[in-house]
Amino acid sequence: MEYQLITEQHTLDQFVEAISNAQVLAIDTEFMRRRTLYPEIALLQVFDGKHLALIDPLTELDFSSLWQLLKNPNILKVLHSPSEDIEVFQNFAGFVPQPLFDTQFALQLLGSGNCVGFAAMVNMRLGIEIDKSESRTNWLQRPLRDSQLEYAAADVAHLLPCFMQIVEEINAKGWFDIVIAESQLISQKRAYQTPDEFLYRDVKGAWQLNPRDLAALRELSVWRRQKAQRKNLALNFIVKEANMVEIAKRRPSSLNSMRNIPGIDPMEVNRSGKEMLACIERAKEISEEQLPEKVLRLMDFRGYKQAAKEIKQKITAVSKETGIPVDVFASKKQINQLISWNWKLTAEERPAMFAPDILQPWRAEYLQKSLEKWVPLHDA
C-alpha cells in the first residue's frame, strides 16, 4: 500500500491541503503507556481513501491546520475502539475529533458481539488476515522500521473499507445518530474527573473501612491522583491501591511502622512515605461530624438483586421492540451505575457526578419511560 511518512512541515501542509475536501477520514494513533498516567503519542495515521499519511508527532510540527480539519463538523472521523485514542487526542491536541464514528460500537449495535477487535473485523468484513506482530512494538523508538510503518498504515487503509460496509447497514436501520452519540459519550467520560471529595469511594476495598479510616483514605486518594498528574506517573506507580487501603486502615504514625505493613513496597515508603504520613495526620484532625459515611456495596442494599433483575427485564422489553441488542443498551456494570446513582448518591451530590450511561443520550430517549421509576431524566 502507498503511504507517506511525514516529518517535515511543508509535507504536512501539502497533505492537509490534499485531504481538505474529504467527507470521511479514517484515523488511528500509535502510543505507549508504560509507567505514565497519560498515553505518549508516537504516531498519527490519517487516510481519506486516496491519501494515506503517517505523521510523526515527535518532530517539530505545527499541527494547527490538521487540527482545524479534525474539528470540522462536516468531516466524519472514523476510528475503531477509540477510547484510548480519545485520551491521546485530549492530552496531545487538547480536543477530540468530532463527529466520531466508532466501528467497534457499530458492529456491536448490528449484533456482531461485544468488543470485536480490529483484526477480527477486517477478517470478517474484508477476508484479510492482519499480521499483529507489531502490536506490542516500541513506537517511541526512532527510526521506525518498515514493518512498523506498514502495520500502522494498514490500520487506516483497512478501516475505511470496513466502515463503508458497516455504515451502509447502520444507515439502513436508522442508527447513525446512535453511533455518533455513543462516541460523544465516550469523549465526555474520558474528560470527566471525579471530584476530590468522592474519589475514595471508587477505591476497591473502601467498603471494608470504618469512617475514621475512610477519612485517611480520602486524603490519600486525593494526594495520589494529584501527584500522579504532577509527575505523569500511573497511579499504581505512586502507591498501589490495595496498599493505600491498608495504610488507611492501620494509619501508621512513622515510616518504620509503615514499612512493617504487610505487602507495602519499601520503594513506596522511600518515595512517598512522608507525604502519606501527612495525609494520615490531616485525617486525624477531622472531627467526628465531618467523617465520611461508611461505603456500602450494592450487594449490601436490601432488594439489590430484585432491582437489577427488574431493570434488566425492562431493558430487554425495549430491546425486543427496537431491535437494538440488550448488551448495547446496558451491561451489568451500566445497570449497577443506575442503581448506585439512585441509592448511593444524594440529590445534592448528583450534579457533581457524571450521570449513568443509561441516563445519557441516546439511551435515555429509548429507556426513560420504562425506567422513570428509578431515576427521572431531569436528575441526569
Asked whether residue 224 carries a pLDDT value surpassing 70, the answer given is: yes
Q: What is the dihedral of CA 65, 66, 72, 77, to 10 degrees?
A: 170
User: Among the options 48, 56, 85, 102, which is catalytic?
Assistant: 85
Instruction: Give me the chain's average pLDDT, please.
Output: 95
User: Among the options 28, 48, 56, 102, which is catalytic?
Assistant: 28
CATH topology of domain 4-191: Nucleotidyltransferase; domain 5 (3.30.420)
Element at 64 (helix H, strand E): helix 64-71
User: Among the options 30, 87, 213, 268, which is catalytic?
Assistant: 30
Say whether 28 is catalytic: yes
Residue keyed to cell 503511504: 3
Read off the pLDDT of each residue in 241-248 and give the average, rounded to a whole number.
97
The domain locations on the chain are 4-191, 196-290, 298-379
Say whether 155 is catalytic: yes
pLDDT per residue as tens digits for the range 54-69: 999 999 999 999 999 9
Read off the pLDDT of each residue in 159-179 and give the average, rounded to a whole number.
98
Sign of the C-alpha dihedral computed for residues 179, 182, 184 and 190 taken in this order: negative
Q: From 1.10.3860.10, 3.30.1490.20, 1.10.357.10, 1.10.150.80, which CATH number describes the 196-290 domain?
A: 1.10.150.80
Say whether 219 is catalytic: no
Reading the block at residue 267, the C-alpha cell is 520503594
User: Among the options 56, 87, 102, 155, which is catalytic?
Assistant: 155
Asked whether the domain spanning 298-379 has the same topology as the one spanning 4-191, the reply is no
| Per-residue confidence band for 376, with pLDDT thresholds at 50, 70 and 90 | low
Say whether 85 is catalytic: yes
User: What is the per-residue DSSP string for 332-358?
Assistant: HHHHHHHHHHHHTS-TTTGGGSPPPGG
- How far apart, in whole angstroms, are the C-alpha atoms of residue 247 and residue 253? 10
Say whether 146 is catalytic: no
- Position 329, amino acid: F
| Per-residue confidence band for 375, with pLDDT thresholds at 50, 70 and 90 | low
DSSP code of 204?
A: T
Read off the pLDDT of each residue in 134-163 and give the average, rounded to a whole number.
94
Asked whether residue 134 carries a pLDDT value surpassing 90, the answer given is: no
User: Among the options 3, 56, 151, 357, which is catalytic?
Assistant: 151
Lowest mean pLDDT across 11-20, 165-174, 259-268: 259-268
| Confidence at residue 373, expressed as pLDDT on a 0 to 100 scale | 85
| Per-residue confidence band for 107, with pLDDT thresholds at 50, 70 and 90 | very high
Q: How much is the pTM?
A: 0.93
- How far apart, in whole angstroms, are the C-alpha atoms of residue 377 and residue 209? 33
- CATH superfamily for 298-379 is HRDC domain (1.10.150.80)
Asked whether residue 90 carries a pLDDT value surpassing 60, the answer given is: yes
